A and B are shown apart, each in its own frame.
Chain A
């Protein structure tokens, strides 16, 4: 296993936003067997250390390619665009207002006659928002010029917001059960 390969090369997948999850998991499992630290139990310290490093690299890789937002950020990184969300707070005011409104709706969910129905409606709305952005991201990413890639970065920021909100919805739903 070559640690210098990027995650797509590592799993022999095309460098694209669309990932064949079945192929990814097959490749992951076969590589996992090769590098599993158990095989190196009687090896030298160096071999043991290397196998742990490789196993970690492999896990990092599968996690990155499985999750859409992480994958999108990784793809931009491979194109030389380092996405740093810690420093970037410039978002479209329209989008932020919508986020605020969605947060307020989520907050009010528990007061609804049927909170589960309200959660479902909110979730559906977010799914639509997310798939619309996924398509726009792919378009911008595939164009590949620097202006389009910057646009893609802005889209990923919004995708990250929506994903975070989905996680919070799931958390709330668990407390309702």
Chain B
């Protein structure tokens, strides 16, 4: 199966790969996995006092589409509010990366990951 140019670009030059200290109060961590293919994805956000996401990092073990989906999401969420970030839809990710139907679940994974990171951050603030 051929990957789109955008997937290849993110796959070869993934943005924002890395880890943040999950214990920090201004960091939200989302861990998700896809049993269908065994992919694991960790997406982290750093939120400033105004509730804006100022940095994002990810680490993904999976196929090119899963890596590209999470890489793209870390780019998209920077500068967004938590609510805006939580509204990112997998369909938008899939469209941007031109994912074929069999790889749609990779974009679902990335959507679930950002939602999980936002909810982890919110839980910490309570």
Contact A89 B31 (CB under 8 A): no
Q: CB < 8 Å: which of A86, A89, A97, A164 contacts B38?
A: A164
B119 to chain A, nearest CB (A): 12
A100 with B35: CB separation less than 8 A: no
Judge whether B35 and A93 touch: CB under 8 Å: no
Total number of A residues with any Cβ neighbor in B under 8 Å: 22
Chain B residue with the shortest CB-CB distance to A161: B38
A100: which of B37, B40, B108 is its contact (CB, 8 Å)?
A: B40
| Contact B34 A89, beta carbon cutoff 8 Å | yes
Encode contact with A along B23-46: 1 for CB under 8 Å, 0 otherwise. 000000001111111101010000
Contact residues of A: prevailing secondary structure: helix
Binary interface profile of A, 15-32, with partner B (CB < 8 Å = 1, else 0)?
000000000000000000
Contact B35 A85 (CB under 8 A): yes
B112 touches A89 (CB 8 A): yes
In angstroms, Cα B40 to Cα A161, docked, is 9
- The digit string for A66-87, where 1 denotes a CB below 8 A from any CB of B, is 0000000000000000000111
The docked-state distance in angstroms from the alpha carbon of A100 to that of B108 is 19
Question: A55 on the interface (CB 8 Å rule)?
Answer: no
By the criterion CB–CB under 8 Å, are B59 and A100 in contact? Answer: yes
With A89-B108, A160-B38, A161-B38: A100-B61 Cβ-Cβ less than 8 Å: yes
With beta carbons under 8 angstroms apart, the residue of A86, A88, A103, A156 that contacts B40 is A103
B14 to nearest A CB, angstroms? Answer: 14
Residue of B whose beta carbon sits closest to that of A153: B35
A50 at the interface (CB under 8 A from B): no
Residues in chain B within 8 A of chain A (CB atoms): 31-38, 40, 42, 59, 61, 105, 108-109, 112
The 4 closest A-B pairs by CB, nearest first: A164-B38, A85-B36, A85-B35, A157-B35
